[in-house]
Every structure is written in C-alpha cells, then in structure tokens.
Chain A
Amino acid sequence: MEIFTEHVNGIMIHKITIGHIHESGCTGCLAALMDNYQGIFTILDKYADLVYGLTLVDVRKIPKMDVALIEGSVCIQDKLATDEVREVRDKSSVVIAIGGCACSGNITRFDRGGQQNQPQHESFVPVSDLIDVDIFVPACAPTPEALRNVCVMTYLLLRGNDEQKALAGMYLKPLMDLARSPYGSKASFNTLMQEVINLGLCMGCGSCAAACPVRAITMEYGKPQGLRDLCVNCGACFSQCPRSFFDHELMEHHEQIMGMLKAVMQ
C-alpha cells in the first residue's frame, strides 16, 4: 500500500493542517504524542503542519484547520474555555478528542472546585457534552501509537486515494461511533460492567486489566474485578475490550495495516 504525497520543490503541498487545543488537562496527551520520538518528526515532515498549539506555535487566534486534537475537559464556569471549544468546532473539519479528559471527563470528574484563585471553577465536562466530536482516542494517557495511527489515518482519509480513504474510514469508524455513543463520554469501569460483562459478552481475555493505567482491574476466576475507587474514568478498559468494538473485516487485514503504518512512519 503506497502513501500519496506530492513533492513540489521539496515542499509537501498536500499536508493536512493540525492544531493542538489545550483545555483542562495535564499536557500528558501532548507528551504521549511526542513520545512517538522520531515518528512525530515524520508526521510533521510528511503529513501534517502544526498550525496551532500553546507554546508550540506562535499563533494567537485559533486558525482554520483540518484536524483539531483537543486535550482536556472543559470547565463550564470558564467562559474563555467554552467559547474556545465552540470556535474550534467552527474552524476544524475533524475534531478529535484525545485522552480520557476530553473523551470521558477522566479525573476532572472528581473536581469539586475550591482551588485558588478560581474556586468557582468546579464543573468539568468532556468536550462532546458541548460540541460534536468526530473521533475519540480514549485512555489516560492515550498511547503514542494510538495517536500516531489516528493522525496517519486522518491524513489518509483527507488526502489519500480511494482505496486509502476506504481503509482509513474503516479504521476510524469504531472511534467515530464511540464519539457518538451515549456511553463513550461517560466511560469508566462501570461501563465495562454495564456494556460488556453484564450483557454476557466478556470471555475473560484480560485486555481490560492490561489496558488500565492505574491497575484497578484484576482477573478473578477469569473475570474482571474493578477497584472502582482507583478508576479514573479514562475509558481505556472499555475501548480496549475486543467486545466493545471489533470489525472482523478490518482485523483480517491486520498485517497489511501494521505494515502500512510502519512504512509511512519511515
């Protein structure tokens, strides 16, 4: 599978434009993106121009862009923040919620306000509570690989040939469905219980236990048990579970897709 790029005097004219929008989060998602090391250079060299990002890009106002990567949840008492996400939605073709805070609230669900010097900032919602979000990349932090994959696939969706567009569409569909589903934005260990275990879908593979960043899940007699007090609401367990979403047709091509991802990152 070949990647479509066009050289004109050494400049890639077909790159997409990407912005990083920082709402209430810990910058861990951005760090995870950087943890692609050389990969982040490849992405920025070949596939995407970073047109917005706090401290990263010297741009004050949110520009028009193809893809907005939003990190963090939104404080509804902070008018600047709520205005900002609305503006992002208006100016971007694709809005991607990266990380637990943006997707499902994550640790900001535990915020009760009272912090100097804005003690009234106490209510934080996932971005999809305020604007339509196109793609979810859950987990705290989201993995470098997941962010890389979504960047590459979004590039292919917007700039690829028909075959690449179809593949990228297939790959991104479950993450788009997650962004629209009623439980995606409310995910926690409870969601794994309610949407998988209680519905007779769990077969005890242990994906949830491996995915949990806080080691809240253990496998007892072959089934997941959660220490819910530890759960940070990142949604990793549910979305990693092969019984949350699994597209047989796509997975059959796992080797080609892995190969393609490797090739484009070189």
Chain B
Amino acid sequence: MANKITVGHVHMSGCTGCLVSLADNYLGLIKILDDYADLVYGLTLADVRHIPEMDVALVEGSVCIQDHESVEDIKTARKKAKIVVAVGGCAASGNINRFDRGGQHNQPQHESYVPISDLIDVDVFIPGCAPTPQMIRNVCVMAYLLLRGSDDQKALAAKYLKPLMALAKNPIASKANFNTLMQEVINVGLCMGCGSCAGACPVRAISMEFGKPQGARDLCINCGACYSQCPRSFFHFEVMDEYEAITDIINGAMK
C-alpha cells in the first residue's frame, strides 16, 4: 500500500492503557497496520530512537513539567507530526496525574503533570480512561481518509473529526471531570437525564438519582468521558445525519 499514512505512538506519563486499548481492536489493529497506517514510532514497538516526521502522532499520557526530556519530547512531537491526537484522559485532561504530588522514588521532585494541550496545540481529543478501542479505530480510519481519501471521503472525515477537534481547542475539555458535566451541562439547563454519563464513567462514579446524574466526586479521575459522551456537550446534526454513511465507511474499512 503506497498510500499508507505514518503514525507514531508517543508515550508520556501514562499507564500504556491507551496503547492496550488500541491493541484491543485485535484483528482490526492488524488491518489498520496492513492497509492504512505504518507505525513509524513507538516505545518497544518500533525500533526508532528519535521521533521521526509523521502524519499522525497518537500521544498518550500527560507531561511532567519538571522532566526536561518529556517537555522536549512533546515539543518535538508537535513539530514532527501533521496531526497530534491526545489519546486518553491523561493526555487530554490530566486524568489521575492531577492527583500526583511527587515524592516517588527516585525522582521525588517530579510532581507537576499537565495535559499535553497546556504545552502544545493539539488537533484531536479522544477522552476517556481508557479511550475505547472503537474511538481510537475511528479516529485512525478517519485520519487516513482525511489525508488520503477521495474528496467525498475527505469531507466526511473532516465532518466526523470536527467535534473532536473543537474539543481539543476548548480550554474546558483539558480540565474535564465530573465538575465539567455539572458546570457545562447540568447547571446550564441542558441535561435531559439520558444516563450517557453514568454509562460512560469508567469508575462508576455517576448514578442517576430521580433522573439526574449524581457524582461521587471522590471517585472521579478526571478522564472527561462523562462530559464528552454526553449528547449535550457536543452533538452536530450534520455529522449525526450521516450516521449510516459513517458507520458504513468504518465497517467497510475494517473488513
């Protein structure tokens, strides 16, 4: 396949769970690597020492600002990649790294972690801890179509990615947690009690009481899944109207 795009996996401070989630596409991952994308960078996966030029950088994990090398890495990733995707809660909104206070052997001074959009411009957000295999797959396929597809496919991919790109530019999204769902959806009169948030929360912190979400906030890990899954955080009719076409194109690509 001469037209494959190049993809790199850039590992900042995270648990490799996002990478596992990508691999959880099972045969789908093989399909992606066979037909659509070459993995040109990835710790232990690709035998490449320096971050190369690439079409898409999938960044997992947040950045420790006391770790000079991490800061340089993320800057390099931005320079070398056409599209930077923040994969997972740590990269997108800080996630559990928000709770870091340092004191770990043998770098106790590594204590301050920020989502990558605090340091670089990010193009696409995939929130969630872990992000779902299907979301990562969708974004990979859509990125391929955006860069290599026909005009129609390009337009469709752009439409699909637009809300995730808007999320990446939205300062609220990089600070997402259950409070964000309260502040941006519930408190502003948008919640209609569908329960998406409760379904999306990976730590089961959200229950629906009298039809409205209640959060056990001590459990919240700041992954942003509740807010971004909510149909009232973003819902673009022009994308959703293409529901069938989008499903078809992804299913077709993965066959």
A residues sitting closer than 8 Å to B (CB atoms) are 76-77, 105, 108-114, 122-125, 129, 182-183, 186, 188, 190, 193-194, 197-200, 220-221, 223, 225, 227-229, 231, 233
**B112 x A229 contact (CB < 8 A):** no
Q: Which of A129, A194, A197 contacts B175 (CB 8 A)?
A: A194
Q: Give 13 new A-B contacts, CB below 8 A, not counting A190-B98, A200-B111.
A: A76-B188, A77-B189, A109-B179, A112-B212, A114-B212, A124-B187, A125-B188, A182-B171, A190-B175, A194-B94, A221-B103, A223-B101, A228-B217
**A228 x B183 contact (CB < 8 A):** no
| Size class of the B contact interface (CB-based, 8 Å) | 20 to 34
Q: How near does chain A come to B158, taking the closest CB pair, in angstroms?
A: 28
**B188 x A190 contact (CB < 8 A):** no
Q: Which residue of B lies closest to A112 (CB)?
A: B212
B209 within 8 A of A: yes
Q: Considering the chains assembled together, what is the distance between the CA atoms of A124 and B175 in angstroms?
A: 21
Q: Considering the chains assembled together, what is the distance between the CA atoms of A213 and B238 in angstroms?
A: 47
The contact sample of 10 A-B pairs, CB cut-off 8 A, is A109-B187, A111-B187, A112-B210, A123-B186, A194-B175, A197-B101, A198-B113, A199-B114, A200-B111, A220-B101
**A198 x B187 contact (CB < 8 A):** no
B17 within 8 A of A: no
Q: Considering the chains assembled together, what is the distance between the CA atoms of A117 and B188 in angstroms?
A: 21
Q: Majority SS of interface residues in chain A?
A: loop
Q: Which residue of A lies closest to B113 (CB)?
A: A198
**A198 x B102 contact (CB < 8 A):** no
**B188 x A123 contact (CB < 8 A):** yes
Q: How near does chain A come to B108, taking the closest CB pair, in angstroms?
A: 10
B216 within 8 A of A: yes
| 6 nearest A-B pairs in the assembled complex, by CB-CB distance | A123-B189, A200-B112, A112-B212, A223-B101, A228-B217, A229-B218
Collect the chain B residues with CB atoms within 8 Å of residue A188's CB: 179
Q: Considering the chains assembled together, what is the distance between the CA atoms of A240 and B230 in angstroms?
A: 34
Collect the chain A residues with CB atoms within 8 Å of residue B111's CB: 200, 223
**A-contacting residues, B173-222, CB 8 Å:** 175, 177, 179, 182-183, 186-189, 209-210, 212, 214, 216-218, 220, 222
Q: Majority SS of interface residues in chain B?
A: loop
User: With A182-B171, A198-B113 in contact, is A123–B210 under 8 Å at CB?
Assistant: no
**B216 x A229 contact (CB < 8 A):** yes
Collect the chain B residues with CB atoms within 8 Å of residue A225's CB: 101
Q: How near does chain B come to A77, taking the closest CB pair, in angstroms?
A: 7
**A114 x B179 contact (CB < 8 A):** no
Interface string of B85-103 (1 = CB under 8 A from A): 0000000001001111111
User: With A125-B187, A233-B179 in contact, is A114–B65 under 8 Å at CB?
Assistant: no
Q: Considering the chains assembled together, what is the distance between the CA atoms of A182 and B173 in angstroms?
A: 13
Collect the chain A residues with CB atoms within 8 Å of residue B134's CB: none
User: With A77-B189, A109-B182, A123-B188 in contact, is A198–B114 under 8 Å at CB?
Assistant: yes
**B186 x A112 contact (CB < 8 A):** yes
**B112 x A199 contact (CB < 8 A):** yes
Task: Give the most central of B97, B99, B216: most A CB within 10 Å.
Answer: B99
**A109 x B101 contact (CB < 8 A):** no
Q: Considering the chains assembled together, what is the distance between the CA atoms of A7 and B182 in angstroms?
A: 51
**A200 x B65 contact (CB < 8 A):** yes
Q: Which residue of A lies closest to B64 (CB)?
A: A200
Q: Which residue of A lies closest to B101 (CB)?
A: A223
Q: Considering the chains assembled together, what is the distance between the CA atoms of A182 and B183 in angstroms?
A: 12
Collect the chain A residues with CB atoms within 8 Å of residue B214's CB: 112
**A197 x B187 contact (CB < 8 A):** no
Q: Considering the chains assembled together, what is the distance between the CA atoms of A76 and B214 in angstroms?
A: 20
**B189 x A76 contact (CB < 8 A):** yes
User: With A112-B214, A199-B114, A221-B101 in contact, is A122–B189 under 8 Å at CB?
Assistant: yes
**A-contacting residues, B150-190, CB 8 Å:** 171, 175, 177, 179, 182-183, 186-189
Q: Considering the chains assembled together, what is the distance between the CA atoms of A123 and B100 in angstroms?
A: 33
**A227 x B112 contact (CB < 8 A):** no
Q: Which of A113, A182, A183, A186 contacts B212 (CB 8 A)?
A: A113
Q: Considering the chains assembled together, what is the distance between the CA atoms of A163 and B222 in angstroms?
A: 47
Q: Which residue of A lies closest to B174 (CB)?
A: A194
Q: Considering the chains assembled together, what is the distance between the CA atoms of A231 and B218 in angstroms?
A: 9
Q: Considering the chains assembled together, what is the distance between the CA atoms of A188 and B179 in angstroms?
A: 8
**B183 x A105 contact (CB < 8 A):** yes
Q: Which of B98, B99, B209 contacts A112 (CB 8 A)?
A: B209
